[in-house]
Structure 1
Amino acid sequence: MDKVIASAALAVADIGDGASLAVGGFGLCGVPETLIRALYDAGPAGLRLASNNCGVDGRGLGVLLEAGRVARVTASYVGENKEFARQYLAGELEVELIPQGTLAERLRAGGAGIPAFYTPAGVGTQIADGGLPWRHAADGTVAAASPARETRVIDGREYVLENAITCDFALVHAARGDRHGNLVFHRSAANFNPLAAMAGRVTVAEVEELVEPGDLDPDQIHLPGVFVQRVVALSPAEAADKPIEKRTVSA
């Protein structure tokens, strides 16, 4: 039952080339920075990522992207990463952009064992009709595009079928966690982290504060330990490493 791993390096050591990963975080909030850096040091390439966004230049998943380790990204927002845009337009990176709520539900459905679901989001657009550029060729033409999705009318309204997402691994960041893998997330970090954790066949959680089983109030647990296989306790310095994506000041 004790799922604590001695180091982040050991926790990601079996993630190999071509692995698929669901990664928590929103912008730079709740991003598993220590696990991402350990994965960078380990060196796997051809990674296929499912995450709300792909970090920014030099932080978060942007570290793996800049190193040329990412082959495909499924995301809902990528506007803060110039290197991401360059690789996508140059044909070096395959990208599936989907509505944010659809991404969230696809991850949750994967963890819940639901193979697919119908949603009205995307009906009447290229999400349903197909043709969204997934990959460009070197000359700027579209080398691969999204296929048309199955649609269905239910109670007079049209819906599009979306498949669930499951990944080989998931990397998440939690404020607190116990040795059994029960996790508590802090405020905005609770958006995609629990969903990403559910979608991973092997989920690795870095926690700012590691506590003993029974110390967490059961009513306060956001994600039960059944979804988590490995827990890494962060050092105080690692836990405090929380960059600000956009700093706003007033006169």
Structure 2
Amino acid sequence: MDKTVPSLADAIAPIGDGAVVMIAGFGGSGAPVELIHALIDKGPKNLTVINNNAGNGHVGIAAMIEQGMVSKIVCSFPRSSDPVAFNTAFTAGTLELEVVPQGTLAERIRAAGAGIPAFYTATSYGTELAEGKPVEEFDGKHYVRERWLRADFALIKADTADTMGNLTYRMAGRNFNPIMAMAADCTIVQATRIVEPGGIPPEQVVTPGIFTDRIVEIAAPVQEETLIREGAVYP
């Protein structure tokens, strides 16, 4: 039941070419930067990345795009504060983009974790985002059918984990982390602190250990915004 691994390289070892990878975070809040950079070091190609945005600067997801690792990104905000990596790849035609409204993105992920293959939402009806999708009318209003969104792997940032995989999050860093942990076949976690079983009060557990597969301790995680302000480039 001990799900801890000794290093970042061990944590991301199962991720290979062609994988679908969910990466948690709302901007830099809750983003598992160390896991992302370890994945860059490994260098798998042709990845599909699911995230709230398409990265900023030259670190994190943006660095993955610059390294030619990402063939498709599914997100709500492809252009954020410093989207140079996305702009370059998308303009060059090397990166496919699927834009999903933020609430719909969260619900598609949550639905996958709950075992719900599809649902209806009024969001995007009558827009280009609804083209090709089934539409039905309920009580005089039109709704678009959306499919669940699953992944082979999820990269998660937790505040505290126990060795069995139970997780807590710090403030807004929670964001997409819990639902992504439920929607992936293999959930890989970096935690600021790892404690023994019982070290997290049961009522404080947000993500139960059943949804966690691999955990690595990163005692002093970096913040994406700090790296960008310092002009960091990875690798």
TM value normalised by structure 2 = 0.92
In structure 2, the residue corresponding to 1:244 is in which secondary structure?
helix
Q: Which residue of 1 aligns with 2:30?
A: 30
Q: Please say if residues 202 and 229 of structure 1, whose CA atoms lie closer than 8 Å, have aligned partners that are also in contact.
A: yes
Contact in 1 for aligned 2:60/2:224 (Cα 8 Å): no
The offset of 1:54, in angstroms, is 2.2
Q: CA deviation at 1:231?
A: 0.8
Tell me if structure 2 keeps the 8 A contact 1:25–1:51: yes
CA distance in structure 1 between the partners assigned to 2:198 and 2:141 by the alignment: 47
Q: Distance in 2 between matches of 1:121 and 1:219?
A: 34
Looking at structure 2, the residues matched to 60 and 52 of structure 1 have their Cα atoms a distance apart, in angstroms, of: 13
* Aligned match for 1:194, one of 178, 188, 204: 178
Q: Look up the match of 1:41.
A: 41
Q: CA offset at residue 24 of structure 1?
A: 0.3
* 1:195-248 deviation digits (Å, cap 9, x = unpaired): 221111000010001111111111111111111111111133xx2x1243798x
Measure the CA separation in 2 of the matches of 1:99 and 1:19: 23
Report the identity percentage: 42
State the one-letter code of the partner of 1:85: N
Alignment match of 2:157 (pick from 160, 173, 177)? 173
Pick aligned residue for 1:150 from 128, 134, 139: 134
State the partner residue of 1:163: 147
Q: Does 1:206 align with 2:190?
A: yes
Q: Matches of residues 38-187 of structure 1 in structure 2 within 5 Å? A: 38-80=38-80, 81-128=83-130, 130=131, 148-187=132-171
Q: 2:200 aligns with which of 196, 204, 216?
A: 216
- In the alignment, which of 217, 220, 223 is matched to residue 242 of structure 1? 223
| Structure 1: gaps spanning 5 or more residues | 131-147
Offset of residue 118 of structure 1: 0.5
The residue identity in structure 2 corresponding to 1:104 is: A
- Give the aligned residue type for 1:157: K
Shift of 1:50: 0.7
Query: 2:59 & 2:28 partners in 1: Cα distance?
Result: 8
Secondary structure, in 3 states, of the residue corresponding to 2:110? helix
Q: CA deviation at 1:68?
A: 0.7
Counterpart-to-counterpart distance in 1, 2:224 and 2:49: 22
| Aligned 8 A contact 2:66 2:89 in 1 | no
Instruction: Report how far residue 100 of structure 1 moved.
Output: 0.2
Runs of 4+ in 1 over 3 A off after TM superposition: none
Alpha-carbon shift at residue 102 of structure 1 (Å): 0.4
CA contact (8 A) 1:28 1:60 kept: no
Cα distance in 2, alignment partners of residues 179 and 53 from structure 1: 31
